[in-house]
Amino acid sequence: MTGTNTVESVAKKEGGSGRMVFVTVRHDVDFSHERVLTEEHDIVYRGDDGEAVKSGYVAPPVDVAAVREVRPD
């Protein structure tokens, strides 16, 4: 079995939400010299500027009494 990952396209865009890069990646899987699977993923990378960028959510502190340790047998 062999797999090949190919970057099909890269597109830069800029707008009100800031800079973005759209990347399409194709994944091909072959078995015994025959293609058995092809899928595409569209990935969006966003810059750290623009109106849509907000500071990250800060989780509240964890109440130690609510934590339970679990150990598998």
What are the structure tokens assigned to 57, written together?
A: 């959510």
Helix then strand then coil, in percent of the chain rounded to 5, is 5, 55, 40
Task: Give the SS3 label for residue 46.
Answer: strand
Residue 10: which domain range? 2-48
pLDDT over 70 for what percent of the chain?
90
What are the structure tokens assigned to 64, written together?
A: 């130690």
In 3D, which of 2, 43, 13 has the Cα closest to residue 25? 43
Q: Is residue 24 part of a domain?
A: yes
Q: Is residue 34 part of a domain?
A: yes
Q: How many folded domains does the chain comprise?
A: 1
- pLDDT exceeds cutoff 90 at 38: yes
Q: Does residue 65 or residue 34 have the better pLDDT?
A: 34
Least confident window among 8-17, 32-41, 49-58: 49-58
pLDDT tens digits, one per residue of 15-33: 777 889 999 999 999 999 9
**Which pTM was predicted?**
0.60
Q: Is residue 56 part of a domain?
A: no
Q: Is residue 6 part of a domain?
A: yes
